[in-house]
Structure 1
Amino acid sequence: MSENDFYLTLPSNASLDLHPDNTLTRYATALPQQIILSGQWECGLVEMQYTHSWYNFTTWLIVTLDGIDFVVKIEAGYYDTPETLIRAINRSIRTVVKEKKVKFNKI
């Protein structure tokens, strides 16, 4: 460790023997050695990783086709492309009305 600068990596799974209740979002990490900072220091975040754990759709969707509103249930989840979302919407629409279909055109 340099006197002037250093990097400190704090992974969430590094000290599970000491902190077995650690999670990805709330954790403590034991440092390999004590760090004593005297004088004035600046701290910066170089890198952060996070888990993609959110949904962009929950459960219900109202689809209007030819002026008629249909309430359809879509499986909750993350749809990473418009095509996968359209397929899910069309599967749900088929449970309500067979001849209607949502289309998607790429620009």
Structure 2
Amino acid sequence: MDYFPNNTLASFTTRLPEMLDLDGSWEIGLAEIQYPHSWYNVRINEVWVLFTDRHHEQHVLVLPEGYYASPKRIVKALEAMKHQKGMKKGFSLGMSEVDHKATLWVRDLSQVIISPLLKSFLGFDKLNFPPGDYKAPYVADVTRGVNSLYVYCPLVEPRMVGDAQVPLLRIVPVAGRDGEMMTRAFDHIQYCPLVLRRFQTVEIDIRDDTGVKIPFERGRVVVTLHCRKRKESYLE
């Protein structure tokens, strides 16, 4: 951190004790990664329900920021907030245990409007709901693209991922629960050719399925790399 004050848990540079000057062809791979399951999937003012009563007065429920492990947790939190405001009628959110799709019924209200992120989480295809019964056409999903950790390092030779060539070390499936410190050691290291033979700094960038940097809130990320000389293959 003394050398690189702008380091974050998801994007950081480490300075090695001395310059590495490698002779010949080498390759490098991710041997182990430790990371905290500490990201939020709901930020301030991202998940809300706005409803208008028969007197044309508007009311809003705003979900506190944090990590909600399942769509059911979000539905329960919004329903609890509704009851805290003394609303026993008006609208109700539910979640099917069979097909994992959300339901919404609206009564005694002019309309219900949900935020774009809540629409995405619960699998609905619209934001505005006049009185009626509704079922989301899509399966609910609150992962927000954080299903895997994509670990990048510019020291490695770029390879094709989707429609781009990127310096990807490895894709690590996300595991664990909110607040847990996770450790993943690899018996089978996926080695990638090094593009530099002489270097003293190592950059690591950790992103999600959509290319967004993992928004770690707290904790510590530790990455262990392993280098080895490439085995030469000869064709007779």
TM-score by length of 1: 0.50
Secondary structure of 2:11's aligned partner: coil
Question: Between the two proteins, what is the percent identity of the paired residues?
Answer: 29
29-38 vs 44-53, greater mean Cα deviation: 44-53
Q: Which position in structure 1 is the counterpart of 2:164?
A: none
**Contact preservation (8 Å) 1:61, 1:73:** yes
Give the aligned residue type for 1:24.
Answer: L
CA drift of 1:39 comes to 1.1
Q: 1:75, 1:88 within 8 Å by CA — same for their partners in 2? A: no
Pick the aligned partner of 2:32 from 25, 43, 47: 47
Question: Which blocks of at least 5 consecutive residues in structure 2 are unaligned?
Answer: 51-58, 99-236
Local SS of the residue matching 1:38: coil
How has the CA–CA distance of structure 1 residues 20 and 73 changed in structure 2, closer, same or farther, with 3 Å as cutoff?
A: closer
Contact 2:42 2:64 in 1 (8 A): no
Is 1:18 the equivalent of 2:8? no
Q: Is the 8 A contact 1:93 1:101 kept in 2?
A: no
Alpha-carbon displacement from aligned partner over 1:1-21 (angstroms, at most 9, x marks no partner): xxxxxxxxxxxxxxx233333
**Shift in alpha-carbon separation, 1:21–1:71, aligned structure 2, 3 A:** closer
Instruction: Give the Cα–Cα distance (whole angstroms) in 1 for the partners of residues 30 and 79 of structure 2.
Output: 44
The higher-RCO structure (CA 8 Å, 6+ apart) is: 2
- The 1:56–1:47 alpha-carbon spacing in structure 2 relative to 1, beyond 3 Å, is farther
Residues 22-49 of structure 1 show CA distances to partners (whole Å, capped at 9, x for unaligned) of: 2223332221232221111122122334
Mark the runs of 5 or more structure 1 residues left unpaired by the alignment.
Answer: 1-15, 63-69
Quote the Cα distance in structure 1 between the aligned partners of 2:87 and 2:60. 11
Of the two, which has the highest radius of gyration? 1
Taking the aligned partners of 1:96 and 1:75, their CA distance within structure 2 comes to 19
Instruction: Give the aligned partner of residue 75 of structure 1.
Output: 64
Over aligned residues, Cα RMSD in angstroms?
3.4
Alignment of 1:1-107 (within 5 A): 16-51=1-36, 52-56=38-42, 58-61=46-49, 72-81=61-70, 84-94=73-83, 95=85, 97-99=87-89
More strand, by proportion:
2
Count of aligned pairs between the two proteins: 86
What's the secondary structure of 1:55's corresponding residue?
coil
User: Alpha-carbon deviation of 1:101?
Assistant: 5.9
CA contact 2:48–2:60 (8 Å) conserved in 1: yes
Deviates more, 1:71-80 or 1:30-39: 71-80
